[in-house]
């Protein structure tokens, strides 16, 4: 029983925002096991009874929160591929850093909570599919090489974040721009010094 999609009152929106931020803060710091109804209630200031009226259990709460936090956009194949890669990597960083954090990412990699892993995959699959579709559209439009494997591109985009995190212990904003530039060279076949266009 996740949040209904109908309009919420301003009070309900504010309450849901507090619950979402509390759940994500707990997830980032301690992984999915830290996201309990009691901890979310204490952190958000929203009564536990109110949480149970909205969500069956912590898994339902966490799945709903992740569903709202991970955005799927409708990119178009027009425009600068290099700028698009940078934007995608910035969004990848936001999702990994601001949504999952080290606690959520570690739990995901270790698959320590299969329900959590399934919830993350459920929200990431449409995001990854949108990227695959975008790469395929660029290939059809001739803005990237026609032999580019869209699935491999998505894997590299996700891997860029994890690799930078392992190597540097943090991924500040803009840190993935050099990876975007390298991917641009691979996707377009143009020399790194050639301007986009």
Q: What is the mean pLDDT of residues 21-39?
A: 96
pLDDT at 3: 43
pLDDT at 113: 93
Residue 28 burial (CB count, 10 A):
18
Of residues 196 and 145, more confidence is placed in 145
Residue 101: which region, alpha, beta or left (left: phi > 0; alpha: psi -120 to 50)?
A: left
Whether 158 shows a pLDDT value over 90: the answer reads no
pLDDT at 6: 59
All domains in the chain, ordered by first residue: 10-68 (1.10.10.60), 75-188 (1.10.357)
For residues 114 and 150, what is the distance between their CA atoms, to the nearest angstrom? Answer: 27
| pLDDT tens digits for range 33-87 | 999 999 999 999 999 999 999 999 999 999 999 989 987 665 555 667 888 888 8
pLDDT at 54: 94
pLDDT at 34: 96
Whether 31 shows a pLDDT value over 60: the answer reads yes
Do 142 and 77 contact (CB within 8 A), yes or no?
A: no
Query: Which range has the top average pLDDT, 6-15, 54-63, 179-188?
Result: 54-63
| pLDDT tens digits for range 94-106 | 889 999 999 999 9
């Amino acid at each position: 029983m996740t949040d209904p999609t109908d309009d919420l009152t301003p009070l309900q929106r504010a309450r849901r925002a507090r619950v979402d931020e509390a759940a994500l803060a707990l997830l980032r710091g301690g992984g999915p096991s830290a996201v309990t109804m009691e901890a979310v209630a204490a952190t958000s200031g929203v009564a536990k009874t109110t949480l149970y009226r909205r969500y069956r259990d912590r898994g339902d709460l966490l799945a709903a929160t992740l569903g709202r936090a991970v955005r799927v956009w409708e990119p178009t194949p027009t425009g600068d591929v290099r700028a698009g890669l940078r934007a995608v990597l910035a969004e990848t960083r936001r999702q990994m850093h601001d949504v999952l954090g080290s606690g959520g990412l570690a739990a995901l990699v270790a698959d320590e909570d299969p329900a959590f892993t399934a919830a993350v995959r459920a929200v990431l699959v449409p995001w990854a599919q949108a990227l695959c579709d975008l790469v395929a559209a660029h290939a059809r439009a001739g803005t990237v090489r026609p032999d580019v494997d869209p699935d491999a591109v998505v894997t590299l985009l996700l891997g860029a974040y994890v690799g930078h995190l392992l190597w540097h212990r943090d991924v500040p904003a803009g840190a993935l721009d050099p990876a975007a530039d390298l991917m641009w060279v691979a996707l377009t076949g143009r020399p790194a010094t050639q301007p986009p266009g």
